[in-house]
């Protein structure tokens, strides 16, 4: 039986300055919106571009559009790594929200408020997203994340992500951890198997402030719900490098690396290097 554990080797602040735009994409869906990590930075821009008139343009559209802007751009950054991340945001009641083989359960906002959560249907069952909150779902071959930035009496905005095909380490292109009004999404990467008993991960992260980042090792596709290890580390504002040793017996199997920054932060993955190399 293979056993896996993890040990933090070092956290190094490489420089205190931070750049949260270089190498990041504009949204192809909304190319006139600015590059941003959190949707709140786009919201006022969208309101000015398309003012609410109570008829054709209403408040929930602004919220959904700002989420679409940052999460669509995040998906494009991730997908240039040879992978497939899908995103969608909209009114979960009417016209509804679908992302890959995920879909929002269509009920009114008043029902969602009364029960305290909205639901997302997946091929592996439903998961709940708390009002004003977020949720990660990992089961079998489904990796998903959802946030609910708005819930009115009729309409409620749901933002969905689905990782259909994971990017594999090493990673040398920047990918943002987009956020919906401060609700930061995780990101997932495939770490290949090595027959060595130790796999070293060098992870570069840029953050706008001090924060705690959670790291997990999950099973590969088909067993995403399996958690092999979990830890957390602290980084300062600026560019940091985090080094972890993943220890396996008799060897380190392939696994899924999950990185989850703290809410209300702006964070970019700069790189993931692995030793021994692939």
CA 253 to CA 235: how far, in whole Å?
28
pLDDT(228) > 90? yes
- Look at residue 112 in the predicted model and tell me its pLDDT: 98
Q: Within this chain, do residues 54 and 138 fall inside the same structural domain, yes or no?
A: yes
pLDDT(52) > 90? no
* Burial degree of 146 (CB within 10 A; 0-12, 13-18, 19+): buried
pLDDT(10) > 90? yes
Q: Which of 165, 195, 227 lies at the terminal end of a domain, its last residue?
A: 165
Is position 254 within any domain? yes
Q: What is the DSSP string of 48-89?
A: HHS---SSSS-HHHHHHHHHHHHHHHHHHHHHTTT-EEEEEE
Q: Within this chain, do residues 110 and 204 fall inside the same structural domain, yes or no?
A: no
Q: Within this chain, do residues 147 and 45 fall inside the same structural domain, yes or no?
A: yes
Query: Sorting pLDDT into bands at 50, 70 and 90, what band is 30?
Result: very high
Query: Total domain count for the chain?
Result: 2
Is position 35 within any domain? no
- Look at residue 102 in the predicted model and tell me its pLDDT: 98
Q: Within this chain, do residues 157 and 178 fall inside the same structural domain, yes or no?
A: no
- Look at residue 141 in the predicted model and tell me its pLDDT: 98
Domain span at residue 122 reads: 40-165
* pLDDT tens column, 136-148: 999 999 999 999 9
Cis peptide before 55 (omega within 30 of 0): no
Rg of the chain over all Cα atoms, to the nearest angstrom: 19
pLDDT, average across residues 13-41: 97
pLDDT, average across residues 54-75: 94
- Let me know: does 93 contact 157? Beta carbons within 8 Å: no
The CATH number of the domain holding residue 201 is 2.60.120.260
Q: Which of 110, 76, 111, 104 is nearest to 90 (CA)?
A: 104
Q: Within this chain, do residues 90 and 119 fall inside the same structural domain, yes or no?
A: yes
pLDDT(278) > 90? no
Cα angle 241, 244, 245 (rounded to 5 degrees) comes to: 150
Q: Within this chain, do residues 50 and 160 fall inside the same structural domain, yes or no?
A: yes
């Amino acid at each position: 039986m293979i056993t896996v554990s993890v040990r933090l080797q070092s956290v190094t602040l490489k420089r205190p300055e931070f750049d949260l735009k270089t190498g990041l994409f504009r949204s192809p869906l909304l190319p006139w919106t600015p590059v941003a990590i959190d949707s709140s930075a786009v919201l006022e821009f969208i309101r000015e571009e398309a003012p609410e008139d109570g008829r054709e343009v209403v408040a929930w559209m602004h919220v959904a559009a700002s989420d679409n802007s940052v999460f669509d751009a995040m998906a494009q950054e991730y997908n240039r790594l040879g992978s497939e991340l899908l995103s969608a945001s909209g009114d979960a009641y009417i016209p509804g929200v679908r992302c890959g083989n995920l879909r929002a359960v269509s009920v009114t906002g008043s029902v969602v408020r009364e029960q305290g959560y909205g639901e997302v249907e997946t091929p592996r069952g439903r998961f709940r997203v708390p009002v004003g909150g977020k949720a990660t779902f990992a089961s079998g071959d489904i990796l998903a994340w959802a946030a609910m930035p708005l819930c009115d009496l009729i309409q409620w905005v749901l933002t969905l992500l689905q990782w259909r095909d994971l990017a594999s380490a090493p990673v040398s292109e920047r990918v943002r951890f987009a956020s919906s009004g401060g609700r930061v999404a995780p990101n997932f990467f495939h770490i290949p198997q090595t027959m060595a008993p130790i796999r070293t991960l060098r992870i570069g992260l840029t953050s706008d402030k001090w924060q705690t980042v959670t790291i997990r090792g999950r099973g590969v596709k088909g067993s995403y719900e399996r958690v092999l290890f979990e830890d957390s580390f602290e980084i300062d504002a600026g560019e940091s490098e985090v080094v972890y040793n993943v220890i396996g017996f008799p060897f380190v199997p392939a696994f899924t690396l999950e990185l989850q920054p703290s809410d209300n932060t702006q964070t970019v993955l700069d790189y993931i290097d692995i030793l021994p190399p692939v």
